[in-house]
Amino acid sequence: TQLLEQSPQFLSIQEGENLTVYCNSSSVFSSLQWYRQEPGEGPVLLVTVVTGGEVKKLKRLTFQFGDARKDSSLHITAAQTGDTGLYLCAGVGNQGGKLIFGQGTELSVKP
Amino acid sequence: DSGVTQTPKHLITATGQRVTLRCSPRSGDLSVYWYQQSLDQGLQFLIQYYNGEERAKGNILERFSAQQFPDLHSELNLSSLELGDSALYFCASSVSGRTEAVEQFFGPGTRLTVL
């Protein structure tokens, strides 16, 4: 069974700080997606990375896919209170192509 | 607003009962995906339908079933409910029939509480 492990599970920081969230697996994924979920709402897709070593930037968010396509990271620069939420990584595995989600990282950015 | 609607928003029922969750996909989307999100299991893929046909199956229990109707809305039926079925149930939709690596638009979810 393919698993995605996210770390840390919880992160509480001050506005303006930088942070990195990790998504790791012992298995290879053909692509990885990052979602953000706010309380009472469904996840919203932020980015999809498909090539090993790929780096994508979305304003203050930088996403990286590991060379071996087993891990990914999300780096947020100068966090804002609006970044607060649950960040989920999801990988396309070898089990019929279904999306496999990590447990999520609960981010709290305090003013 | 993703354009995906789910009803009801909250559902409270008793063990042994049966409930139906409803999802309307975004206009033009042919695929509907169902997910279960619980504190201990995280977000788990249950099942996907594409244009009325079952396309992929995940960790869906035999007590659960789903279908997609000609107007493309979908229903998830949960029967013989147990306490452990309490969770958030999300529906997502996409244009593509592919199961993976496509942008899926999630609805606001239905919170099911089994007492």
Digit-coded pLDDT (tens) for B28-71: 999 999 999 998 888 999 999 999 999 888 889 999 999 999 99
Query: What's the pLDDT at B98?
Result: 65
Question: CA-CA distance, A64 to A21, in Å (whole number)?
Answer: 11
The number of C-beta contacts closer than 8 angstroms across A and B is: 60
Q: Is the alpha carbon torsion for A4, A7, A12, A15 positive or negative?
A: negative
Query: What's the pLDDT at B95?
Result: 83
* pLDDT band, very low/low/confident/very high, at A17 (cuts 50, 70, 90): very high
* pLDDT band, very low/low/confident/very high, at A29 (cuts 50, 70, 90): confident
Mean pLDDT of B71-100: 90
CB of A20 closer than 8 Å to CB of A37: no
Residue labelled with tokens 């692509």:
A31
Distance from CA of B91 to the nearest CA of A (A): 9
Query: What's the pLDDT at B101?
Result: 55
Average pLDDT along chain A:
92
Question: CA-CA distance, A28 to A47, in Å (whole number)?
Answer: 18
A59: closest CA among A76, A34, A35? A76
Q: Which residue in chain B has the smallest CA separation from A48? A: B101
* pLDDT band, very low/low/confident/very high, at A98 (cuts 50, 70, 90): confident
Backbone Cα Rg of chain B: 13
Q: Which residues pair with A72 in a beta bridge?
A: A23, A65
Test B42 with A50 for CB contact under 8 angstroms.
no
Q: Which DSSP symbol is given to A70?
A: S
Q: Which tens digits make up the pLDDT trace of A72-88?
A: 999 999 999 999 999 99
Residue labelled with tokens 């049966």:
B18
CB of B75 closer than 8 Å to CB of A8: no
C-alpha distance across the termini of chain A, in Å: 40
Listed range (A56-65, B38-47, B71-80) with the worst mean pLDDT: B38-47
How far, CA to CA in Å, does B5 sit from each of B23, B32, B105, B108, B113?
Answer: 6, 12, 10, 7, 20
**pLDDT of B100 over the 60 cut:** no
Of B57, B100, B105, the CB nearest to A99: B100
Test A42 with B45 for CB contact under 8 angstroms.
no
Question: CA-CA distance, A109 to A16, in Å (whole number)?
Answer: 9
Query: What's the pLDDT at A110?
Result: 97
Query: What's the pLDDT at B103?
Result: 79
**pLDDT of A2 over the 90 cut:** no
Mean pLDDT of A6-35: 94
Q: Which tens digits make up the pLDDT trace of B8-32?
A: 999 999 999 999 999 999 999 999 9
Q: Which residue in chain A has the smallest CA separation from B4? A: A42
Our CA angle for B106, B47, A9, nearest 5°, is 55
Average pLDDT along chain B:
92
Query: What's the pLDDT at A97?
Result: 56
If 0-12 CB within 10 Å is exposed, 13-18 middle and 19+ buried, where does residue B65 land? middle
Q: Could you tell me what percent of chain A has a pLDDT over 90?
A: 78
CB of A53 closer than 8 Å to CB of A66: yes
